[in-house]
Chain A
Amino acid sequence: DTGVSQNPRHKITKRGQNVTFRCDPISEHNRLYWYRQTLGQGPEFLTYFQNEAQLEKSRLLSDRFSAERPKGSFSTLEIQRTEQGDSAMYLCASSPESGQALQPQHFGDGTRLSIL
């Protein structure tokens, strides 16, 4: 168990640019989540994958956001035409299928996005 890995750890970009983040979940974890955390707040749910299927998206996930998990392993989160309000910590979490809701989600260390 090497934990959830997220890359890059930090991303600084100019407004209007596109950015992509990667998440590698704990191996054999079927469930993968993306959350966004702004300063002084708790994480807010963005989207959820079960294997390769994206089964739920939050209203927070505007058309500029897209997430994929093509082979049911790693996932990417892309933000197009970034805006100042996109500045946040983007957290990825994973959990196994077994035990349904009883299994805790394991979080990565996040990608901190700063928009200039």
Chain B
Amino acid sequence: AQSVAQPEDQVNVAEGNPLTVKCTYSVSGNPYLFWYVQYPNRGLQFLLKYITGDNLVKGSYGFEAEFNKSQTSFHLKKPSALVSDSALYFCAVRDLPMDSSYKLIFGSGTRLLVRP
């Protein structure tokens, strides 16, 4: 079965420092991976996706993610964190290729706290 794991419940970083939010995946076939961000009492906002191609994917708000097939990882990164980046981040994988719904399977989420 397709799955993703986010090993850190919380990541703390100082404003201006680089940040990394970790995600590992387990899939059958090609991985289709996504990152979403959730602010309090809001829905999920799409940040970026990996389908194929370059291992470094650039997304919204200065975020990027590095796909590593050998390590089955898809870590989210940003060179310089902002206090406004503080939120809940979810990694997700699309379900099995033969599943026509293309529903997403989410990790448990990582809370990012950026201190001033």
Which residues from chain A sit less than 8 Å from chain B, CB to CB?
4, 6, 31, 33, 40-45, 48, 50, 55-56, 91, 93, 95, 100-102, 104-110, 112
Q: Is the CB of A42 within 8 A of B46?
A: no
Tally B residues with Cβ within 8 Å of A.
Answer: 26
Residues of B within 8 A of A112 (CB): 41
Q: Which residue from A45, A56, A100 sits with its C-beta under 8 Å from B104? A: A45
Q: With A55-B100, A104-B46, A112-B41 as given contacts, are A42 and B34 in contact (CB-CB < 8 Å)?
A: no
14 contacts between A and B (CB under 8 A): A31-B101, A40-B108, A41-B108, A42-B107, A42-B108, A43-B90, A43-B106, A45-B103, A48-B103, A50-B101, A56-B99, A101-B102, A108-B43, A110-B42
A42 to chain B: which residues have CB within 8 Å? 90, 92, 106-109
Task: Determine whether the beta carbon of A41 is less than 8 Å from that of B109.
Answer: yes
Residues 61-116 (chain B) with a chain A CB within 8 angstroms: 90, 92, 94-95, 99-109
Q: Which residues of B contact A (CB under 8 A)?
A: 32, 34, 36, 41-46, 49, 51, 90, 92, 94-95, 99-109
How distant is the Cα of A48 from the Cα of B100 in the complex, in angstroms? 10
Please pick, from A4, A33, A107, the residue contacting B103 in the complex, using a CB distance under 8 A: A33
Q: Is the CB of B90 within 8 A of A106?
A: no
B101 contact from A6, A40, A55, A107, Cβ within 8 A: A55
Cα A106 to Cα B109 with chains together (Å): 18
Closest Cβ–Cβ distance, residue A30 to chain B (whole Å): 12
Q: Which 5 A-B pairs have the closest CB atoms?
A: A42-B106, A107-B43, A48-B101, A107-B44, A104-B46
Residues of B within 8 A of A45 (CB): 95, 101, 103-105
**Smallest beta-carbon distance A74→chain B, Å:** 16
Say whether, besides A45-B105, A48-B101, A100-B102, A106 and B46 are in contact (CB < 8 Å). Answer: yes
A48 to B99, CA, bound (A): 11
How far is A108 from B56 in the complex, measured between Cα atoms in Å? Answer: 28
Closest to A42 in B: B106
Q: What are the residues of chain A within 8 A of B49 when measuring CB–CB?
A: 102, 104
A108 to B34, CA, bound (A): 17
Report Cα–Cα, A112/B44, bound state, in Å. Answer: 14
